[in-house]
Amino acid sequence: MTVFLGLDVGTQGVKALLLETGHGVVGTASRPLSTIGGLPPGHSEQRPSDWLDAVRGALADLRAQQRARFERVTALAVSGQQHGLVALDAHDRVLRPAMLWNDVRCATECSEILAALGGRDRAFARLGLAALPPGFTAGKVRWLFRHEPEHYAKLARVLLPHDYVNLWLTGEFVAEAGDASGTGWFDVRARQADELACEACAPGLFGKLAPLRAAGTPAGTLRDAIAAELGLPQGALVALGGGDNMMAAIGAGAVEPGIATLSLGTSGTVFAAASQPVCDPAGEIAPFCDSAGGWLPLGCTMNATVATETARALFGLDLAQFDAAVRSVPDGADGVLCLPYFTGERSPDLPTATGAFVGLTPRTSTAPHLARAAMEGASYALIRLLDRLRELGLPLRELRLTGGGSKSRVWCGVIAAASGLPTLTGVHPDAAAVGAAVQAAWTAARVAGAPEFGLAACRARFFLDRELERLPTDATAIARHAAQRRRWQSFLEALAPRYAALAP
């Protein structure tokens, strides 16, 4: 049977996964990563060399587990954390540590870029992007130009994290539209970098970008020296890969319009496949491209498991105790609700917001009530973004849950009842690595002469959906959540102006 390799290079670690035709996932391994300590608030960096070392380690572990399959890998692909800045000189040497997606030092630079483009409305007309979050790559490049001119003077190539790993694997300096659409200088409608937007970031940036390749074409093949070092077959194909959200969409099965994915991690994301650009003038939904030739409109909240972990720590509960506490209180938490903005928020744009519990009485001031309210509040914040996708004209017929929080049966039940969508669990927990392996298989099939072979058909060869389970709901739970969501939204609208007034 044919074997494919998926790599997910994240902020917290590298995951490696083997996918075999007819068998699905047949081996996994991982190595941890950490950010550089001692940096000022708002700064977040990693050394790209640490990514490569973690890849080497994870692949060594995977090879030790599955040597026969490992040595039959036909193709591989890389999923990577989005928005990071990897700066190389003319000899492809890393100039400084990579600035990561959660590095927000460049808020001033982002405002300057929007102003140079003529303001929010003109930026939206030009790029399809109504907001430029400080997490995006554009502000980081401008920050580098302003604050580290000695590095910018030597800058020859600008890469995103997964593009850097591809360069190491293949020697090819290439990019693809999915990950590139999260930079802030990308025209998502035309699926290409915009020269004016690049110049608004820093002079000469446009000429430092990797050329784009179309979805379904390879980045290259493994360099002989890398193949020998890693123990992989020489000449193995390396697909383009993409950002972690794009690869998670493939891994979760959101590869055709109508299927949405909701991921419950530290932050939360909702995204769905689209056959045309979905651009939000309010800036709530990022108009990303996907990594398969279409688009992936995506909304993100800063507080998903942040909310539940905050409540859990408050009462000293372990995960099982926390779920039991939530289960002991009815849907709607007897009127207690939580605005879960413990670390500020980006959707809605309330960076100075804080968490709030409302509706407490002597009877409801209990650990179980606050635990359920925190879980429901984090859910409602994400379902609000699902509603926004529908408002923008994207029909949704099914919701798939992934991420660490989806391991909680009670949390999945809350989302199923509150969303109003048929909801499925059982998505593989390493959805981004799975998606990378699937994209590798899809690309290999196209290179072999099957250009019309689709991602859905490719996934079917691996039986990836055999573990999916549709969650039951009942009318009483749906009605209680509908009423509680209306109350939750009214408190959000009332408090939003006060949160905004706290901004410096």
Whether 249 contacts 296, CB under 8 Å: yes
The two tokens of residue 67 are: 């040597």
Please state, in angstroms and rounded to a whole number, the distance separating the CA atoms of residues 242 and 227.
Answer: 21
Please state, in angstroms and rounded to a whole number, the distance separating the CA atoms of residues 191 and 292.
Answer: 12
Average pLDDT of the chain to the nearest whole number: 95
Is the pLDDT reported for residue 64 higher than 60? yes
Give pLDDT, residue 454: 86
Where residue 467 falls among pLDDT bands split at 50, 70, 90?
Answer: confident
Q: Using CB atoms within 10 A of its CB, is residue 211 exposed (0-12), middle (13-18) or buried (19+)?
A: exposed
Q: Using CB atoms within 10 A of its CB, is residue 15 exposed (0-12), middle (13-18) or buried (19+)?
A: buried
pTM of the model: 0.91
Nearest to 210 by CA among 163, 151, 246: 163
Q: Using CB atoms within 10 A of its CB, is residue 146 exposed (0-12), middle (13-18) or buried (19+)?
A: middle
Instruction: Please name every residue paired with 85 in a beta bridge, in sequence order, or none if there are none.
Output: 99
pLDDT digits (tens, 9 = 90+) for 409-450: 999 999 999 999 999 999 998 999 999 999 999 999 999 987
Please state, in angstroms and rounded to a whole number, the distance separating the CA atoms of residues 337 and 344.
Answer: 17
pLDDT digits (tens, 9 = 90+) for 368-390: 999 999 999 999 999 999 999 99
The two tokens of residue 144 are: 């580098």
Q: Which domains does the chain possess?
A: 3-230+237-245 (3.30.420.40), 254-426+474-504 (3.30.420.40)
Give pLDDT, residue 481: 97
Give pLDDT, residue 503: 63
How many other C-beta atoms are found inside a 10 Å radius of the C-beta of residue 449? 7
Is the pLDDT reported for residue 351 higher than 70? yes
Nearest to 165 by CA among 282, 101, 86: 86
Where residue 344 falls among pLDDT bands split at 50, 70, 90?
Answer: confident
Interaxial angle between packed helices 409-419 and 367-391, expressed in degrees from 0 to 180 and rounded to the nearest 10: 40
Where residue 212 falls among pLDDT bands split at 50, 70, 90?
Answer: very high
Task: State which amino acid sits at residue 484.
Answer: Q
Give pLDDT, residue 473: 84
Please state, in angstroms and rounded to a whole number, the distance separating the CA atoms of residues 78 and 241.
Answer: 5
Peptide bond into 348 cis (omega under 30): yes
Is the pLDDT reported for residue 504 higher than 60? no
Where residue 452 falls among pLDDT bands split at 50, 70, 90?
Answer: confident
pLDDT digits (tens, 9 = 90+) for 19-32: 999 999 999 999 99
Where residue 223 falls among pLDDT bands split at 50, 70, 90?
Answer: very high
163 labelled catalytic: no
Percent of the chain at pLDDT exceeding 90: 87
Calculate the alpha carbon distances from 52 to 33, 39, 49, 164 in Å.
11, 22, 5, 10
Spot the catalytic one: 8, 103, 194, 244: 244
Averaged pLDDT, 23-43: 95
pLDDT digits (tens, 9 = 90+) for 153-190: 999 999 999 999 999 999 999 999 999 999 999 999 99
Is the pLDDT reported for residue 59 higher than 70? yes
